Amino acid sequence: MKLNVLVLASALALVGFGIAEGAERPNVLFITVDDMSCDSIGAFGCKLSQTTPNIDRLASQGLRFQHAHVQVGNCMPSRNVMLSGRYPHNNGVEGFYQVRDVSYPVMADLMKEAGYFTGIRHKVSHSTPYHPYPAWDVVLDTLPDGNPAHPKHIKSYHASTKQGIAAAKEAGKPFCLNINVADPHKPFYTEGSRGTTVNDPNVPSHVFTADEVPVPGFLFDDPAVREELALYYSTVRRADDCVGEILRALEESGESDDTVVVFLSDHGMPLPFAKTQLYYHSTRTPWIVRWPGVTKAGATDERHLISAIDLLPTLLDIAGIAHPDGLEGRSIVPLLKRESQTGRDFIITEYNENAGGNRHPMRAILTREYGYIFSPWSNGERKMATATKGTATYRRMLERAKSDPHVAERLALFEHRVPEELYHYASDPDALVNLIDDPRHRSERDRLTAALEDWMKRTGDPMLDVFRDRNDPAVREAYMAEVENEAAERPQRKRGARARQQDEGRPGGAGRRGRAVQP
């Protein structure tokens, strides 16, 4: 990859972002959790007490955003938006596959070029367009004793963070570490296959029971659902334990006062109607920033809508690094400094495919009150493929639907969706009442669809034409035939590329839709 020389430009940018020339740049510690809904966190209104004491403490020390979202409801595409500053249809990472022919830099490139020591723990292959990626100075998935770091082992996150900070000190550089906690991604605590229980040595500091957990409004109250939610919330607590270990290592290093901590989840809980969807609860993320001397302790931003597309420009501004061309987000540094920004009244989210190449493209636009979703794949017959169909909750939904009309209706929506959905999230955050044909909300629908179309034009979204003709089923089906054929041909292209490499006796990367990556 050819990158512009950024050192001089970065130095000139220091003064503009409040960092005096010659002053040391702050370290950056970017922490993520995997598959954690925003409202599973105490500081963001969790109805269950003591799920996240360490994350709550971090929130009390920094600034949290009440209206923050990621762009995508599944992992690899979501993380690549964060670290590229580009929407999936422009960074090429629309699913779980390698994208080798990239022409843009990602966070690790930019930080390393500007003199930072870069490191990552877990989700390594999901966090850049291809793997292995050359811009990480260290991958922290091996512990100092040489053993692999188990992604669910709590204390290992302390060791990994300590190792990364020490390596940066030895290199004489500020650090930029991306520490990705594996929980509460499945398997949950003590969870085996298809409802079995296993002996799990990675015990959270608190285990919740089925009778005490809240049931999200987008699901249904049932003993089997409660049992799975109890495992989920216990795993949320284990994720919080891991975050506590990361922050303990930072504090012990003596670098805490010189380190900006940013915390996000990559998307919502791995249960039906959350993960791999674009509802409010699918993409809302707990965004916390602690920047010593800049953010105000315990502050909350309840006004501005921000999203993962804004993360990279924000990190670059914090570090005083010039922005490369092509970033599609906007820095929130003014918000961290308790200023305001205009143009933050809506965000756009998108989904294209899940692991296995299953294409179910969707686009959504959200404001503080409303959300609109367009699903061209929905034709009443096609069923959405999603990781959440492997859950006990989904299996119970199938059983309950045989005798419960309400559950049957929800199952039909989950499986087939409808081409257009409109929700008043201010009063219906669980997206239970579709207002798309309600004349009382027509003006809001028209306003949102016009804004979405304008965004599609500005970003070169290949869904623009089908969106313009969204009321024509034939146009929707023609579009789906095209994208499904592309996904089906991807393995053939991969095999062909490998064969050509072997014939020519040379190494090389896969094409734009390359080697599959496991979720």
Concatenated DSSP letters of 307-353: EGGGHHHHHHHHHT-PPPTT--S---HHHHTT---SS-S-EEEEEEE
Contact 463, 476 (CB under 8 A): no
Residue 487 covered by a domain? no
Question: With contact defined as beta carbons under 8 Å apart, do 119 and 125 qualify?
Answer: no
The verdict on 155 and 133 lying in the same domain is: yes
Contact 183, 274 (CB under 8 A): no
CATH code (residue 359)? 3.30.1120.10
How far CA 6 is from CA of 2, 82, 109, 321, in Å, comes to 12, 20, 10, 8
E strand residue ranges, 66-195: 68-69, 117-121, 138-139, 175-180
Number of domains in the chain: 2
Choose the final residue of a domain: 298, 324, 344.
Answer: 344
CB atoms within 10 A of CB 252: 13
167 plus 202 within the same structural domain: yes
How many Å from the N-terminal Cα to the C-terminal Cα in the chain? 25
Residue spans of beta strands (DSSP E) within 347-482: 347-353, 359-366, 370-374, 420-424
Same domain, 155 and 274: yes
pLDDT at 21: 44
- Give per-10-residue mean pLDDT for the chain (519 aa): 35 40 80 98 98 98 98 97 98 95 96 98 98 98 96 98 98 98 98 89 98 98 98 98 98 98 98 98 98 98 98 98 98 97 97 93 98 98 94 98 98 98 98 98 98 98 98 98 91 49 34 51
Is 489 contained in some domain? no
Clarify whether residues 389 and 458 are in a common domain: yes
Burial (0-12, 13-18, 19+ Cβ within 10 Å), 5? exposed
Question: CA 26 to CA 195: how far, in whole Å?
Answer: 46
| 284 lies in the same domain as 393 | no
> Of 464, 462, 446, which Cα lies nearest the Cα of 454?
464
> In Å, how far from its chain's centre is CA 361?
17
**Residue 299 included in any domain:** yes
Q: Is the peptide bond before 144 cis (omega within 30 degrees of 0)?
A: no
Taking alpha carbons only, the member of 122, 113, 118 closest to residue 141 is 122
Residue after which a domain boundary falls, among 290, 318, 344: 344
In whole angstroms, what is the distance from residue 332 CA to residue 161 CA? 26
Q: Is residue 117 part of a domain?
A: yes
| Strand ranges inside 252-294, DSSP E | 259-265, 287-290
Give the CATH number for residue 260: 3.40.720.10
Strands (DSSP E) contained in 207-286 are 259-265
Same domain, 367 and 339: no
Residues 83, 210 within the same domain: yes
Q: Which of 34, 69, 83 is nearest to 282 (CA)?
A: 69
Q: Are residues 278 and 375 in the same domain?
A: no
Q: Do 38 and 284 contact (CB within 8 A), yes or no?
A: yes
Phi, psi of 161, deg, nearest 5: -65, -45
Q: Measured between alpha carbons, how far is residue 97 from residues 167, 179, 512 in Å?
A: 31, 22, 9
Residues 403 and 280 in one domain: no
Pairing of strands 287-290, 63-65: antiparallel
Last residue of a domain, one of 326, 344, 362: 344
Distance (Å, rounded) from C-alpha 354 to C-alpha 361?
10
Minimal CA–CA distance to 224: which of 390, 401, 395?
Answer: 395
Structure tokens at 363: 């686009």
* 487, 491, 493, 494 alpha-carbon torsion, rounded to 10°: 130
Cα distances from 195 to residues 190, 275, 318, 393, 396, in angstroms, run 10, 20, 45, 10, 11
513 in a structural domain: no
- Nearest alpha carbon to residue 107 among 75, 136, 139: 136
Cα separation, 376 vs 366, in Å, equals: 18
Task: Examine residue 184 and say whether the peptide bond preceding it is cis (omega within 30 degrees of 0).
Answer: yes
Residue 18: its pLDDT value, please? 41
Tell me whether residue 493 is in a domain: no
66 and 50, same structural domain? yes
Residue 406 lies in a domain: yes
Within this chain, do residues 264 and 370 fall inside the same structural domain, yes or no? no
Is residue 318 domain-resident?
A: yes
Segments forming the whole domain that contains residue 37: 25-344
**Pair of tokens at residue 253:** 């290093």
Q: Which amino acid is at 212?
A: E
Residues 360 and 420 in one domain: yes
